[in-house]
Amino acid sequence: MNITLKLYASLGAFLPPGSARNTIELDVAEGASIGEVLALQNVPRGNCHLILVNGIFTPPVSADGKALSEGDTLAVWPPVAGG
Amino acid sequence: MGWTGKVLRVDLTKGTCAPEDLNREWADQYMGQRGLASKYLAEEMDPKTDPLSPDNKMIFATGPLTGTCASTGGRYSVITKGPLTGAIACSNSGGYWGAELKFAGWDMIILEGKSKKPVYLCITDDKAELLDASEIWGKSVWDTDAWIKTRHQDPQMHVSGIGIAGENGVLFSCIINDLHRAAGRSGVGAVMGSKNLKAIAVRGTGGVKVDDFPAFLAATSAAKEVLAGNAVTGEGLPTFGTQVLMNVINEAGALPTRNTRDVQFDGAHDISAEAMAEPSGKNGKPNLLANQACFGCTIACGRISKVNEEHYTVQNKPEYWHASGGLEYEAAWALGAATGVNDLDALTYANFICNEQGIDPISFGATVGAAMEMYEDGTLTDKDTGGLKLKFGSAEALTTAVELTGKAEGFGAELGLGSKRLCDKYGKPELSMTVKGQEFPAYDPRGIQGMGLTYATSNRGACHLRSYTVSSEILGIPEKTDPLVTDGKADLVKAFQDATAAVDSSGLCVFTTFAWTLEDIAPQVDGALPGNWSVDKLLEVGERIWNLERQFNLQAGFTAKDDNLPKRLLKDAAKTGPAKGLVSGLKKMLPEYYAARGWTKEGVPTNETLSRLAL
Ligand code: SF4
């Protein structure tokens, strides 16, 4: 299935060289979990503090149990804040 | 002992500067800075006073931790009645100026009346005098800063003042210290301009005494460890700055776009922290050069950037080729997403002009967004705008508009009224994205429900810094709540409002609260001040301040009707993202909030609430 992966801030380093706008399209196994997708890109899980699937918060601790669906957008940040 | 115990009262009409003792009873009830100065203002001034009349007072106030070794202890606030809103205004700034005032031996400066001619206030330790500013009237913040330091032959002076926007009465003009730190909101710069006061220059050579030094040192050291060890304050904020929120809030579907017609901006990435760090232009250098800290801050979230020298805005203007402050998230949002402009260099340039001339970029950008919507729907014509083609997405329109607004020239004079007055004037009040006359910032209340209640009930008009529920609803700090529901938001907003009022009265920066709770802050205040400053006391002080500000506004003529949001947010559902189909649930949250506050259904504090808070 096809998903969109967005890795922001320092996690952008785990995208393939030449990726634009912190985004890549990925073809992953049907029902792949967030954890599996992050492992594919070698993203250190300890740095994944904010995980949004289609803009909706997913606690990092449940990343392994949460299956993605065709067309999902997974966006991940290290610890960030602002105001 | 935390407080210096000294207040400087400046009568601009008579041209006098006189010291007086700090009211210790009030200091014990209101701590300092925002709270204590609000108490002085409420006691000394009729809330119905015209904000731009000589009768309006203006207070520059530090907190008990300002100028100490507490991390971020460099803050000060400007408290007055705001001309943009007609409500109590309290604008908070970092940099170094606040600490310097404390080193000079003053807790606060109360300014009253109006000078006959332009002056600046010069403070060197306990000596204070009003000096002629005719040579710098009409000059920018940056030129004023340089002129004062040269004139006094003292590069260590710190200057807080206005640019031409404040002189010209731009209703969202701000006060800038240390070149690019702003007491930004509600038009406090216009009040300073109306008094013919260009700047306050301070040099202090003393220190700040604390009540119990060993306890204070232990508390501030432990609290610094917490900041350093916390992933957000120790790593996230210094590395990426506040601007990292651009993609977060856009992904979450809560980025008000093109005058809040949409909740997601296709150009968000182009103006984000990630884009600031990417190589750009022929020389391949990024926009972002470094981070920077305010006085005593161990977080250092500030951004120092540069406009690409090839960019059309500065091509023939080498005076703008230097590095300066920006972009922070709120400014980037207002100058960018609110106007549909995705040109990072244009935004950086516009932000430089805002700092140089003393303009609040939030209100300015949001006002341009409203003007663009009126231009595109035909309400505003080229004749009205003097030929300025205010199309959404036009970087040229944005950068021309910022230059005109500071000078109050052409259509800039109308933009300087702020979006409420502008939209009213052209018969489109519904297009003004304001509460109590103040433009709201970078969070759409349809996608972050708590922020709708935050804006509606903020005592200084729409504002994110009165209760930053984004922290909980999006970032999960201190605990995650669902941004799309209204349940529990009344209590959440009240809790954030009270805690923030306490932090804003201490001299500390509110960004510490991404890591600190009041459990970390109370021992620092307690070490600095006599008396017992527990978490409970801080919360009580915070709640007292909130109710005092509310009383001021009620006496100024505001009612529950003003605790409202623009119709667009209540009637037009978000079109995309997680909030698709949702409007703000303000109607449900507001009565819950009044009840949680101990206010009547009309939003008035009950006698019981007032007496519980000793008001
Ligand atoms: S956290 Fe940022 S805004 Fe706050 S004091 Fe530190 S540098 Fe200044």
pLDDT number for residue B119: 98
- Does B427 score more than 90 pLDDT? yes
Same domain, B483 and B409: no
Q: What does the alpha-carbon distance between residue B423 and residue B259 come to, in Å, rounded to a whole number?
A: 12
3-state SS, B463-530, equals CCCCCCCHHHHCCCCCCCCCCCCCCCHHHHHHHHHHHHHHHCCCCCCHHHHHCCCHHHHHHHHHHHCC
Size of interface A-B (CB pairs under 8 A): 93
What's the DSSP call for residue B233? Answer: I
Q: Which of B244, B269, B511 sits opposite A80 (nearest CB)?
A: B244
The mean per-residue pLDDT over the stretch B419-424 comes to 98
Which two three-digit tokens encode residue A54? 């289609």
B262 domain-assigned:
yes
Same domain, B548 and B459: yes
Cβ B297 under 6 angstroms from ligand 1:
yes
Same domain, B14 and B153: yes
B216 domain-assigned:
no
Same domain, B500 and B601: yes
Residue B66: which CATH number? 3.60.9.10
d(CA B352, ligand 1 centre) in Å: 19
Band of the pLDDT at B284, cuts 50, 70, 90? confident
Q: Which atom of ligand 1 is nearest to the CA of B293?
A: 7
Cβ B99 under 6 angstroms from ligand 1:
no
pLDDT number for residue B462: 97
Say if the Cβ atoms of A55 and B252 lie within 8 Å. yes
Into how many domains does chain B fold?
Answer: 3
Same domain, B385 and B453: no
Q: What percent of chain B has pLDDT over 70?
A: 100
- Does B390 score more than 90 pLDDT? yes
Q: Which atom of ligand 1 is nearest to the CA of B298?
A: 6
- Taking contacts as CB-CB distances below 8 angstroms, the residues of chain B near A48 are none
A7/B contact by beta carbon, under 8 A: no
Band of the pLDDT at B1, cuts 50, 70, 90? confident
The mean per-residue pLDDT over the stretch B123-130 comes to 98
Angle at B395 between CA B389 and CA B400, to 5 degrees: 65
B228 domain-assigned:
no
pLDDT number for residue B567: 98
- In 3D space, the residue among A9, A19, A78 whose CA is nearest the CA of residue B273 turns out to be A9
Q: Which of B471, B477, B578 sits opposite A56 (nearest CB)?
A: B578
pLDDT number for residue B416: 98
B140 domain-assigned:
yes
Same domain, B461 and B427: no
For chain B, the average pLDDT equals 97
Q: Which of B291, B299, B465, B516 to mutate to test the pocket of ligand 1 (most atoms within 8 A of CB)?
A: B299
pLDDT digits (tens, 9 = 90+) for B442-452: 999 999 999 99
CATH architecture designation of domain A2-77: Roll (3.10)
Which two three-digit tokens encode residue B573? 């559902």
Same domain, B524 and B566: yes
Q: Is the dihedral of CA B35, B41, B46, B52 positive or negative?
A: negative
Say if the Cβ atoms of A50 and B248 lie within 8 Å. yes
- Taking contacts as CB-CB distances below 8 angstroms, the residues of chain A near B231 are 49, 78-79
B468/A contact by beta carbon, under 8 A: yes
Say if the Cβ atoms of B274 and A78 lie within 8 Å. no
C-alpha distances (whole Å) from B289 to each of B371, B438, B579 are 33, 32, 36
Residue B521: which CATH number? 1.10.599.10
The end-to-end CA distance of chain B, in Å, is 25
* pTM for the model: 0.98
- The alpha carbon of residue A40 is apart from the nearest alpha carbon of chain B, in Å, by 22
In terms of pLDDT, which residue wins out, B579 or B1? Answer: B579
- The alpha carbon of residue B240 is apart from the nearest alpha carbon of chain A, in Å, by 7
pLDDT number for residue A83: 82
A8/B contact by beta carbon, under 8 A: yes
Nearest CA to ligand 1 atom 8: B294
Same domain, B166 and B283: no
B596 domain-assigned:
yes
Residues of chain A scoring pLDDT < 50:
none
Cβ B294 under 6 angstroms from ligand 1:
yes
Cβ pair B245, B329 in contact under 8 A: yes
The end-to-end CA distance of chain A, in Å, is 37
B438 domain-assigned:
no
- Give the domain range for residue B310: 257-432
A22/B contact by beta carbon, under 8 A: yes
Band of the pLDDT at B60, cuts 50, 70, 90? very high
Q: Which of B330, B509, B512, B513 to mutate to test the pocket of ligand 1 (most atoms within 8 A of CB)?
A: B509
C-alpha distances (whole Å) from B363 to each of B386, B398, B433, B489 are 21, 13, 10, 26
Q: Which atom of ligand 1 is nearest to the CA of B295?
A: 5
Domain boundary among B411, B432, B453: B432
C-alpha distances (whole Å) from B557 to each of B49, B553, B560, B561 are 11, 6, 10, 11
Residue B413: which CATH number? 1.10.569.10
| Closest A-chain CA to B514 | A81
d(CA B94, ligand 1 centre) in Å: 7
B235 domain-assigned:
no
Band of the pLDDT at B553, cuts 50, 70, 90? very high
Same domain, B526 and B427: no
Same domain, B193 and B155: yes
Residue with tokens 């006959």: B116
pLDDT digits (tens, 9 = 90+) for B485-495: 999 999 999 99
B328 domain-assigned:
yes
Q: What is residue A30's three-state secondary structure?
A: coil
Say if the Cβ atoms of B251 and A6 lie within 8 Å. yes
- Does B282 score more than 80 pLDDT? no
Instruction: Tell me the ipTM for this assembly.
Output: 0.98
B50/A contact by beta carbon, under 8 A: no
pLDDT number for residue A67: 95
- Taking contacts as CB-CB distances below 8 angstroms, the residues of chain A near B248 are 8, 50, 52, 77, 80, 82
- Does B37 score more than 80 pLDDT? yes
Q: Is the dihedral of CA B236, A82, B511, B364 positive or negative?
A: positive
